[in-house]
Structure 1
Amino acid sequence: MIVFGSGPAGSALGRKLAERHRVLLLERELPTNPPRSSEGWRIGESLPGAAAVLLRRQGLFDRFLADGHVERGASVSVWESPVPVWFDALRDPNGPGWHLDRVRFDAMLRNAARDVGVVFSAVSGRVQVLREGAQWYVRDDRAGRQYRARVVVDATGRSAALCRSLGLPRHAQDRLVCVHALLPAKEHDQDRCTRTSADVDGWWYSVRVPSGERVLAYHLDAGDPALRGLRSAQALLLHARRLPLLAPVLPESVSHISTQVRPAGSAVLNIADGVPGPGFYAVGDSVLAFDPLSSQGLFHALASAERAATAIAREFEGDLSAGQHYFLEMRHVQARYYKHLAATYARPVRYCDRPFWAQRRDQVDWMGTG
């Protein structure tokens, strides 16, 4: 089996299958001297308590706990009205979940996959993927290598590189982007709440991560003229400090800190018209990239990897319809997700006439009923 992508979904899937099958995991070759911005941290640092079940099934829960991730505190949001609403996990049977050190979390999953025999191989450019009969052939011309497998899996994240190379349609809901920075925490800042706030032309969140620093993230349209000015961390900070929910926990100023901008809108693999038949799967963001508002992206990576592993095992046992059943399940996940996302974006009624909110209400409503 060949898995494209070495993120959480690909590594978790590889580990799940490697005890009974040979697994090759292809990953992009990193530059010799990567820019400093790619070394220190990764946004996407939340995992719900329900993920404990998936980590236990991987045999990784104790290893996960030993890595020093921080239990999530309460959440407070200014969303439906200007009045803050608090929520804690006391009534959640799965517990509060965790704020993650993403670099450490991703490394744990990669190392765990290696421990059970997953082979990692770097590719430096585009590869050719062809299907002949019941076999897939993957050619890396630059390295002069060719691989063959009965099953290929796209775990390349939002890029969905394998899906695109096979001509599979993918629908991006909108052009939502996240501009974010990792800020030093204020002196004596012990706040562990996740703070979320709707704004006139987007929405914010801020939380402290295990390093003790504070993430500040703003989600807005890629075409918003304000985006250019917010590429400065100081400008991002000043813009956030307008909001009563965020100002008390944010430093007054920062220097020598850069922001990062990444795509953040929902994107789905269009599987209504079918996929290339047996032997093809997509997991994690490749099959459904979540809006960060859902806080479900990492959980989905682990859950879809587990469901795909079950389907692939069945396919190896002769059930050629296993992939169809897997993608049907993913369609149900997509439908439930859009229903909840539509309801959430419709709630800040005080901003309902602003383009950011009106566009998402209309688009998500349409996609959720399509």
Structure 2
Amino acid sequence: MNLYFDCVIAGTGPAACACALVLKKAGLNVALVAKKSNKQPAFSVGESLPGAALPLLNRIGVSDLSELLTKGQFSRCTGNASAWGSEQWHKTDAIQNPQGGGWHIDRAAFNHALLKFTVSQGVTLLYSQVLSAEYKSCWHVMLTEQTDVLRCDYLIDGTGRASSLGKLIGRKKIHLDKQMAIVAWFESSDDDQEKMTRIKAVSDGWWYSARLPNKSTKGLPIRVVAKFMLPEQSKSLNTPQAYLMQLNNSGLLPVDFNESQILSGPYFTDASVSKLDELSNNTLSFLAIGDAALSLDPLSSQGMFFALYSGIKAGEQIIEARANQINQFENYDNDINAVLNANQKARKHYYVSEHRFSESEYWQSRVLS
């Protein structure tokens, strides 16, 4: 027997959940499809949630972070400290931002809690993967874990940077630059109380670090550290020893770390700016959201914000299309392209402001991309 949904969303991240909640609130029958994991990951990349994200959470029915996370799973970010353009540290206090400095969150816990909340609102969760999707007056979707065909009016790709659903139906990812992130999580010491985000430019890229709200099994602070550099140059950090040597020599943090303090990583992950060649398709009733639609440079710290924003915008666009009885997603495309254009402009401004390494291949690539 065929199963019908108004909308099927591939993925269960913040973008997918935000979209599903907007649609469900409007009375649509929505299903999320994602591969089941045997256990929740200890750590996930992306722990910065800006203050401007709170109105977006309100839009999907979450009035405060405390509704999703426990006290030990989120903490206020007090500001930013950057050594960019010089070796001198420049600090910006959160009080200078009208919306505050935002939060550092336990990202794995946030993803899990938001998905749990989404399901509690009546959204169907199917643990499977999309095997094929064909549009014949509506979408016919085959899943790997069942023989029944899902039918839906709208199909949404929320599968992250992989854009696996978009690629399955013939879309392509356009890479606007090349960048790799090498990420590790460390058990810090009791005296690590700094709640600022730290960023430091070096000759072959830049370092980032933040203290997370959650604690290790020993009750010690956890700190995430990432280096961003060109993919071909990142091979120099393929061992924990090499990673530690560069980190400890970078001047990013006032303390050194050793191998015994590594809780997870170093992991290599794509951090390039990329965009799906077709964000939406009116004829096929298809939209891409979050990183599946547009992956921003991590320097902007807007990944979580954009995930929620794009998911909400896509949901609202579908509601509008149904009300007008015509698929027209031009407004959604314009909104996403406006985000890309604004971020690219700001991104170039910040990269150009680092003038010490003008001969470096990495910094030259930032100016040209």
C-alpha distance in 1 between matches for 2:325 and 2:52: 30
> Which segments of 5 or more consecutive residues in structure 2 lack a partner in the other structure?
1-6, 215-220
C-alpha distance in 1 between matches for 2:194 and 2:312: 34
Superposed structure 1 runs of 4+ greater than 2 Å apart: 61-68, 140-143, 231-235, 249-258, 274-278, 318-322
- Determine which of 334, 340, 365 is the counterpart of 1:359: 365
- Map residues 298-313 of structure 1 onto 2, 5 A cutoff: 298-313=304-319
SS in structure 2 at match of 1:181: strand
The Cα shift of 1:322 comes to 3.6
Cα deviation, 1:182-204, whole Å, max 9, x if unaligned, reads 11113411111211011111110
CA contact (8 A) 2:187 2:261 kept: no
The answer on 1:104 being equivalent to 2:109 is yes
CA contact (8 A) 2:282 2:327 kept: no
C-alpha distance in 2 between matches for 1:218 and 1:130: 41
Give the CA RMSD over aligned residues. Answer: 2.0
CA contact (8 A) 1:346 1:352 kept: no
CA contact (8 A) 1:191 1:249 kept: no
- Map residues 90-239 of structure 1 onto 2, 5 A cutoff: 90-124=95-129, 126-133=130-137, 135-140=138-143, 143-211=146-214, 212-224=221-233, 227-239=234-246
The Cα shift of 1:252 comes to 4.9
SS in structure 1 at match of 2:191: coil
The Cα shift of 1:63 comes to 4.9
Which residue does 1:366 correspond to in 2?
Answer: none
Which residue does 1:367 correspond to in 2?
Answer: none
The Cα shift of 1:238 comes to 2.0
CA 1:221/1:279 → structure 2, altered by over 3 Å: closer, same or farther? same
- Determine which of 272, 277, 293 is the counterpart of 1:270: 277
Structure 1 counterpart of 2:286, one-letter code: F
Structure 2 counterpart of 1:57, one-letter code: R
Structure 1 counterpart of 2:149, one-letter code: Q
Cα deviation, 1:20-66, whole Å, max 9, x if unaligned, reads 01001111233x5x6xxx72111200000001111122221335465
Structure 2 counterpart of 1:239, one-letter code: Q
SS in structure 1 at match of 2:188: coil
C-alpha distance in 1 between matches for 2:322 and 2:106: 36
The Cα shift of 1:209 comes to 0.3
The Cα shift of 1:318 comes to 2.5
The Cα shift of 1:262 comes to 0.7
Structure 2 counterpart of 1:112, one-letter code: F
The Cα shift of 1:145 comes to 2.3
The Cα shift of 1:95 comes to 1.4
Structure 2 counterpart of 1:339, one-letter code: K
Structure 2 counterpart of 1:267, one-letter code: S
The Cα shift of 1:7 comes to 0.7
C-alpha distance in 1 between matches for 2:32 and 2:195: 36
C-alpha distance in 2 between matches for 1:105 and 1:207: 17
C-alpha distance in 2 between matches for 1:161 and 1:276: 20
The Cα shift of 1:256 comes to 6.1
C-alpha distance in 2 between matches for 1:275 and 1:22: 21
CA 1:255/1:208 → structure 2, altered by over 3 Å: closer, same or farther? closer
**Could you tell which deviates more after superposition, 201-210 or 233-242?**
233-242
The answer on 1:48 being equivalent to 2:37 is no
- Map residues 226-265 of structure 1 onto 2, 5 A cutoff: 227-244=234-251, 246-252=252-258, 254=260, 257=263, 258-265=265-272
Which residue does 2:347 correspond to in 1?
Answer: 341
CA contact (8 A) 1:234 1:254 kept: no
C-alpha distance in 1 between matches for 2:164 and 2:200: 33
CA contact (8 A) 2:187 2:262 kept: no
- Identify, as 1 or 2, the structure richer in strand: 2
C-alpha distance in 2 between matches for 1:234 and 1:194: 24
SS in structure 2 at match of 1:175: coil
Which residue does 2:28 correspond to in 1?
Answer: 21
C-alpha distance in 2 between matches for 1:295 and 1:194: 10
Structure 1 counterpart of 2:132, one-letter code: Q
The Cα shift of 1:310 comes to 0.9
CA contact (8 A) 2:185 2:262 kept: no
CA 1:248/1:123 → structure 2, altered by over 3 Å: closer, same or farther? same
Structure 2 counterpart of 1:130, one-letter code: E
Work out the number of aligned pairs and report it.
352
Q: Give the TM-score of the pair, scaled to structure 2.
A: 0.90
Q: Give the TM-score of the pair, scaled to structure 1.
A: 0.89
C-alpha distance in 1 between matches for 2:82 and 2:256: 16
Structure 1 counterpart of 2:171, one-letter code: L
Structure 2 counterpart of 1:260, one-letter code: Y
The Cα shift of 1:276 comes to 5.2
Identity rate, percent: 28
**Could you tell which deviates more after superposition, 192-201 or 63-72?**
63-72
Cα deviation, 1:231-273, whole Å, max 9, x if unaligned, reads 33343122112233x241443553565311111111112249x
Cα deviation, 1:269-289, whole Å, max 9, x if unaligned, reads 2249x7353521111111111
